[in-house]
Amino acid sequence: MTASQRDIALSAGRLARTLQDWIGANFRLPAPDIPSLTSFSRLGSDEDQIPHPGEAAGTDVPAEEAASLVRARWGLGNAPIPNVVHLLEAHGVRIFSLSRDCLEVDAFSFWDRGIPFVLLSTEKTAERGRFDAAHELGHLVLHGEEQMPHGPQAEAEAHRFAAAFLMPRSDVLVHAPHGASTSWILQGKRRWKVAAMALAHRLHELGLTTEWQYRTHCVELGRLGYRKSEPRSGVVRETSQVLGKVFTALRSEGTRPADVARDLHLRPADLNDLILGLVVTAQDGDGQPHQGMSGRPKLSIVR
């Protein structure tokens, strides 16, 4: 990316830390619960051996296996994940959004004082946003707090983790036929809420399609417009449940986002960039929570 794009992304990370500090001082949020590769290398599922969140990795657990282990640790089984953002927030990941001026960055993640952060672009498709969130979880799990993942290898590992996390091997093998057609992929993608291209790649990765079939899928999906978008998707972009609850609670007390920005010595535009697309702003009328913010008790925020 260009230096200016990099600087915009890094600035967003610094502002996310500032906003998180303010929220953490006023609300009780879910504690971080991100397994590391170190935990996977110890005595199986012995909970006494689980390290602190963000502990540095030091093993060579394959990305596919790591995704399965995280699913097992979180009790997800092999079923599709309804909402990736809500799942990460339930396990203590702080989700914020990137500025629209940062189009070259899909997402990025980092640890700060034991707290995992993920920043997501709101300019991608809903399916791509889910995959990006899972990809960043892969970095948090595979590379730990003390490492600084970079380069093609780290990206490939996080990519394989995301594919396996969203489309578990056993579930895909049960529901996908050998030699699936492009039409089946366009139907099957709805089960896992992933991009058509991602599902085509996963089928090939699991040996369900040949090299020739995979190339055919890519050509046909590209011709139909699925290389850069998801026509007639129907999948709703995932939003932050935590930020929604926080700003709903503040609004009920008469505190506006502009008031929060002033307390943090931020421009309102900078604050809006962090919560863009993740908080429903059309709540100013009656202050009632949006339907999508009811959530599980695990995500309740206590003032």
Q: Would you list the DSSP string of 62-95?
A: -HHHHHHHHHHHTT-TTSPPS-HHHHHHHTT-EE
Residues 162 and 60 in one domain: yes
Quick check: 48 pLDDT over 50? Answer: no
Residues 136 and 176 in one domain: no
The whole-number pLDDT of residue 5 equals: 82
Q: Tokens 């830390």 map to which residue?
A: 17
Domain end position, chosen among 120, 150, 166: 166
The answer to whether residue 278 is domain-embedded is yes
Residues 63 and 115 in one domain: yes
- DSSP annotation of 118: E
Model confidence band, residue 40 (pLDDT cutoffs 50, 70, 90): low
The answer to whether the beta carbons of residues 146 and 112 sit under 8 Å apart is no
The answer to whether the beta carbons of residues 195 and 124 sit under 8 Å apart is no
Residues 155 and 293 in one domain: no
pLDDT digits (tens, 9 = 90+) for 98-131: 887 777 888 999 999 999 999 999 889 999 999 9
Tokens of 279: 């908080």
Residues 49 and 119 in one domain: yes
Model confidence band, residue 152 (pLDDT cutoffs 50, 70, 90): confident
Mark out the alpha helices in 206-264 (DSSP H runs): 211-223, 241-252, 257-263
- Tell me the CB-side half-sphere exposure of residue 262, using CA atoms within 13 A: 5
Strands of 107-112's sheet in order across: 94-97, 115-120, 107-112
Residues 139 and 254 in one domain: no
Q: What is the value of pTM for the model shown? A: 0.84
The answer to whether residue 281 is domain-embedded is yes
Residues 11 and 66 in one domain: yes
Residues 127 and 84 in one domain: yes
The whole-number pLDDT of residue 139 equals: 93
Domain end position, chosen among 143, 166, 189: 166
Contacts of 107 (CB under 8 A, 6+ apart): 98, 118, 119, 120, 121, 132, 133, 135, 136
Domain end position, chosen among 121, 138, 166: 166
Model confidence band, residue 267 (pLDDT cutoffs 50, 70, 90): confident
The whole-number pLDDT of residue 46 equals: 42
Question: In angstroms, what CA-CA distances link 174 with 82, 83, 177, 188, 210?
Answer: 19, 22, 8, 12, 18
Among 134-148, 182-196, 233-247, where is mean pLDDT lowest?
A: 134-148
Quick check: 44 pLDDT over 80? Answer: no
What residue numbers bound the domain in which 40 lies?
3-166
Tokens of 136: 């960043």
How far apart are the C-alpha atoms of 46 and 14, rounded to whole Å? 36
Domain count, the chain: 3
Contacts of 190 (CB under 8 A, 6+ apart): 234, 235
The answer to whether residue 58 is domain-embedded is yes
The answer to whether residue 232 is domain-embedded is no
